[in-house]
Structure 1
Amino acid sequence: MNKDIFEYKIFNDDIFVGDYTEYSKLNPQYANVGVVFSEQPFDNLNSLHIINHRHIPIGAINFEEYEDILKDDQGNLVKQCEGLCFAERAKKHGFVLLIEMKYCLEKNIERNVDEAKYQLEKSLIYLRDTKHIIEKKDRIYWVISIPDHSACEPFNSFIYSQSDLLELQDRLGVIMFFRQNEIVVHTDAHLMIPNT
């Protein structure tokens, strides 16, 4: 991970990621909030929870704060995900987690997961192949979080077969494609689903 391009916040404990964009439509006092990375759970918004019981230092980048870097040569904003987290002290082969969140009705989960997958793919290609922020040595993980529907996890597991997931790994180098609202940081190179 090329850490010199962005300023980033370091977390040593759990991380909660929420996006107030949809919430603000009914709560205008949050109109300018957007995506938030927090050390505490939100009291008014469901979120992605990155569990870090081992206190591994994690860098977090909110892409809403860096729109200039995410523009193409014509000045158009690249279809990007919400942000990323990475193992801040990894010497090599550290994890990089690209995060996409969707707040939607249950009936729209399938469509939103497909759109989120597209955004993650575009973000990865742009950040790795065009901007060289993500490096070839990094262990790439994706997560799609749909915080209002934890009961439906993993989201759309019936749509993506094992061969689809292997194709993502072969074509894009994605180690794991999570469709969860909770992820565990196991080491500075490995993420996993919480034990149930």
Structure 2
Amino acid sequence: MDIVSLAGLATAMVVLALTPGPGVFATVATALSSGFRATLGLIFGLVTGDICYLLFAIFGLSMVAEAMGECFVLIKIGAGAYLAYLGVQLLRTKPLKQSDAHPTPSTGKTYFSGLFITLANPKVILFYCGFLPSFMDLGTLTPTGMVVTALTVATVVTGVLCGYALLASRARKAMTEKNAFKAVQNTAGGLMIATGIKVAVDH
């Protein structure tokens, strides 16, 4: 895999990862509500979904990927409902200070939420199975090239999402008064609900 193709892939991934969407909104909302560490499972799940579709594109399984996108209607609804439920729970939570104990979602739940958010996102399917092969000859990748491509995707997506999470968690830490922190909780809850709705209905 040449440097030009790798640079093009990295640039495309930065644009894709920076573009606000369900993954970004879920990451920000989780960081606002529970802090940076709570986002790691979610981000890992989001990245895993990206790698899955990248492998589909590399091995010429775009039709399978598209079929999966259609079959994931129930998963989209389930993931969307779960995110909306978390949002409602945040809105109903009594005002807390940053130092107060706050329930943190389990890593397993956040991981699968992130995975399903990516797998059920038609825009991600379009990117990996439609746009990416148009400027990269994925069929000629060697095993080493596949590993480098996957690492590039994982590194860029993780880096961008961690950046969003860090900014949101710093905003959370800056809120020390109960009223201010409740506003953060309400914002996070609203983002979670909006993300859940977007995941469930987006097509």
In terms of fraction of residues, the more helix-rich structure is 2
Using structure 1 for the length normalisation, give the TM-score.
0.24
> Which of 1 and 2 has higher RCO (CA within 8 Å, sep 6+)?
2
Using structure 2 for the length normalisation, give the TM-score.
0.24
Tell which structure's C-alpha radius of gyration is larger.
2
In terms of fraction of residues, the more strand-rich structure is 1
